[in-house]
């Protein structure tokens, strides 16, 4: 009973317009940025290195290397500040948290492309 009500409240927050992506995939996140009274879209493209949480609190972290410096950004999956998520490339990885990418750069930081969905 109580869990039903919790699920019901969380369900009001869900968005179902995002593509299904996993850690290892390369995505472009379209972020709504409000500056003063103007709103514009900022792109953040990189590899998903983490998904955590459940329900309305689910978040994912995107890592990119910008000018030689690694940048990571964590987004709440259901946040209205995300305008859109593009799935650019599906990667084949063998773990769910790709923290090892932080220690790598260049060739060793490459991720193989997933050619077909492993489930099918």
Partner 1 sequence: MSGMIGKKIGMTSIFDDAGNNIPVTVIEAGPNVVTQVKDADGADGYEAVQLAYGDKRPSRTPMAMEGHFEKAGSGPKRKVREFSKFDREVELGDEVIIEDLFAEGDRVDVVGVSKGKGFQGVVKRHGFSGVGMKTHGQGDRERAPGSIGASSDPSRVFKGMRMAGRMGNQRTKTKNLQIARLIPDQNLILVKGSVPGHKGGFVEIYRKPTS
Among 42, 43, 57, 96, binds partner 1 (CB under 8 A): 57
Q: Which is nearer to partner 1, 9 or 43 (CB)?
A: 9
33 alpha-carbon distance from chain centroid? 17
Among 30, 51, 76, 114, binds partner 1 (CB under 8 A): 76
The reply on whether position 80 binds partner 1 by CB under 8 A is: yes
Q: Which is nearer to partner 1, 3 or 108 (CB)?
A: 3
The reply on whether position 41 binds partner 1 by CB under 8 A is: no
Q: Which is nearer to partner 1, 32 or 50 (CB)?
A: 32
Q: Which is nearer to partner 1, 54 or 120 (CB)?
A: 54
Q: Which long-range contacts (CB under 8 A, 24 or more apart) does 106-112 make?
A: 109/65, 111/24, 111/47
Question: Mind spelling out the 3-state secondary structure of 81-94?
Answer: CEEEEEEEECEECC
CA pair distance 7, 84, nearest whole angstrom? 24
CA pair distance 26, 60, nearest whole angstrom? 12
The binding site for partner 1 (CB under 8 A) comprises: 2, 5-6, 8-10, 12-13, 32, 55-57, 76, 78-81
């Amino acid at each position: 009973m109580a869990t039903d009500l919790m699920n019901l409240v969380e369900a009001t927050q869900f968005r179902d317009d995002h593509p299904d992506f996993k850690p290892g995939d390369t995505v472009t996140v379209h972020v709504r940025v409000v500056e003063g009274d103007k709103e514009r879209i900022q792109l953040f493209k990189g590899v998903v290195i983490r998904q955590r949480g459940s329900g309305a609190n689910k978040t994912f972290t995107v890592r990119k290397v910008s000018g030689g410096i690694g940048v990571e950004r964590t987004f709440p999956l259901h946040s209205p500040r995300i305008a859109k998520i593009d799935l650019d490339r599906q990667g084949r990885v063998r773990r769910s948290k790709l923290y090892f990418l932080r220690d790598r750069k260049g060739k060793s930081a490459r991720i193989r492309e997933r050619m077909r969905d492993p489930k099918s």
